[in-house]
Amino acid sequence: MKPETITETIKVACSSCNLRELCMPIGFTSDDMQKLDSVVATRRRIKQGDNLFSNGDSFTSLFAIRTGFFKTCVSAADGREQVTGFQMAGEIIGLDGIVSDYHSCNAVALEDAEVCVMPFANVEDLSREFPQLQRHVHKIMSREIVRENSVMMLLGNMRAEERLAAFLLNLVQRLHARGFSQSELTLRMSREEIGSYLGMKLETVSRAFSKFSDEGIIEVKQRYVRIIEPDALKKIFNPETCT
């Protein structure tokens, strides 16, 4: 590998991005589209294991993931870490930084990644000009609030197997929306990271995987997972609504 600065900048255009439907699904005229392109200043590559931003970094931009996979996590003063989310192509990270002008969590690339850098000043300027963009930004933030509400439900009320079932269903659903298989996936995160997200220890995650596997609900081989009985997973997550 040749030494390169972590930040490689590439000029790009939203108007020609194949993730547009996910990232900025706004009904724009092609004229407006030209202006939208100016939200994105540059692209940036992040190597696996590197941080896109860290707790305490000053906040200037939101990031739209083009390729790759991230986790965001917060840490307590005593070092305990809590993974607060896993993000994939088309999703926006960095919203935590808006309130105080610095980031309060770490965003770590779980595989080599590329993001679109959207200086927040640009986002706000264009939002005032384009009500549809404004609405879209509001929806992205609201969606994150609603997502976190349901994680709180998982952490506060669900048992280990329910949490893992919900986690797997959520992952494949999002991957499927991106054109991947509905039944197969390769986890980009370790058992420990899954556990941190779901509020359980890695051994408990592993045991839950093994249990699902023994019951024929899924096939697991390390980080490869095939969902054999999606309905059984849904039933574990939510016993009431599925028959």
Partner DNA sequence: AAAAATCTTTGACACATGTCAATAGATTGC
Partner DNA sequence: GCAATCTATTGACATGTGTCAAAGATTTTT
Q: Is 150 in the site for a second copy (CB under 8 A)?
A: yes
Nearest CA to 168 out of 104, 218, 116, 202 is that of 218
- Count of beta carbons in the 10 Å neighbourhood of residue 82: 14
29, with CB counted inside 10 A (0-12, 13-18, 19+), is: exposed
Residues 130-169 within binding reach of DNA (CB under 7 A):
159-161
Q: Rule CB under 7 A: say whether 112 interacts with DNA.
A: no
- Binders of DNA among residues 200 to 219 (CB under 7 A) are 200-207, 209-210
One residue of 61, 87, 106, 127 binding a second copy per CB under 8 A: 127
Residue with tokens 């991947």: 180
1 near a second copy, rule: CB under 8 A: no
Smallest distance, Å, CB 18 to DNA? Answer: 28
State the binding partner of 54 from DNA, a second copy, none, CB within 5 to 8 A by kind: none
Query: Alpha-carbon distance 216 to 48, whole Å?
Result: 33
CB atoms within 10 A of CB 134: 15
Check residue 243 for interaction with a second copy (CB under 8 A): no
* Bridge partner list, 102: 58
Chain CA centroid to CA 214, Å: 29
Quick check: 74 binds a second copy (CB under 8 A)? Answer: yes
Q: Are 145 and 220 in contact (CB under 8 A)?
A: no
Cα Dmax for the chain: 57
Contact residues toward a second copy (CB under 8 A) are: 74, 76-82, 84, 95-100, 104-105, 124, 127-129, 131, 134-135, 137-139, 141-146, 148-153, 155-157, 196-199, 238-241
Contact residues toward DNA (CB under 7 A) are: 159-161, 187, 190-192, 199-207, 209-210, 220-223
